């Protein structure tokens, strides 16, 4: 089961990520844009996620994903760390959120972080 230290290690391994305390919790930013928070006593994460995908995730796996009331109108989703399969799943979620916040110059400089090809 992934934990907050796994979140921290993976996030800080992504290009130009920094950690900053905001709202009394750890947050992670790329080029100054927040893309991960560790709320709920660091037992969950909040990440960027397009609204259409977010709603599908929550419907498909409600034990894993949910939408906090104050994030209902924004493109963020929460995930329970204890419900994630492993650190590979955590890495995929964090990397996807990083891609949504990273500036184009970083996306271009790191093609290895591009989304997986779909057939």
* Sheet with 17-22: strands ordered across: 17-22, 25-30, 33-37, 44-48, 76-80, 65-66
Do residues 38 and 24 touch, judged by C-beta distance below 8 A? no
C-beta of residue 18 within 8 angstroms of C-beta of residue 92: no
The residue-averaged pLDDT of 32-54 equals 93
pLDDT at 9 exceeding the cut of 80: yes
How confident is the model over 27-45, as a mean pLDDT? 94
Give the pLDDT confidence of 50-104 residue by residue, as tens digits. Answer: 988 999 999 999 999 999 999 999 999 999 999 999 999 999 999 999 999 999 9
> Which pLDDT score is estimated for 119?
61
Phi, psi of 79, rounded to the nearest 5 degrees? -135, 135
Confidence of residue 117 (pLDDT cuts 50, 70, 90): confident
Rama region for 37: left / alpha / beta (φ>0; ψ in -120 to 50; rest):
beta
Percent of the chain with pLDDT over 70: 98
First to last CA, the chain: 30
Question: Token pair for residue 87?
Answer: 């650190």
Residue 116 scores a pLDDT above 80: no
Question: Is the CATH number 3.50.50.60 carried by domain 4-113?
Answer: no
d(C-alpha 23, C-alpha 105), whole Å? 29
């Amino acid at each position: 089961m992934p934990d907050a230290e796994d979140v921290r290690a993976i996030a800080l391994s992504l290009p130009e990520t920094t950690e900053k305390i905001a709202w009394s919790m750890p947050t992670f930013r790329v080029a100054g844009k927040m893309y991960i928070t560790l709320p709920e006593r660091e037992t969950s994460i909040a990440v960027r996620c397009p609204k259409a995908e977010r709603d599908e995730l929550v419907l498909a796996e409600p034990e894993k994903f949910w939408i906090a009331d104050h994030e209902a109108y924004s493109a963020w989703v929460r995930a329970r760390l204890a419900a994630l399969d492993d650190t590979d799943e955590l890495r995929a979620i964090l990397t996807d959120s990083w891609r949504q916040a990273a500036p184009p110059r970083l996306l271009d400089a790191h093609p290895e972080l591009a989304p997986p090809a779909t057939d």
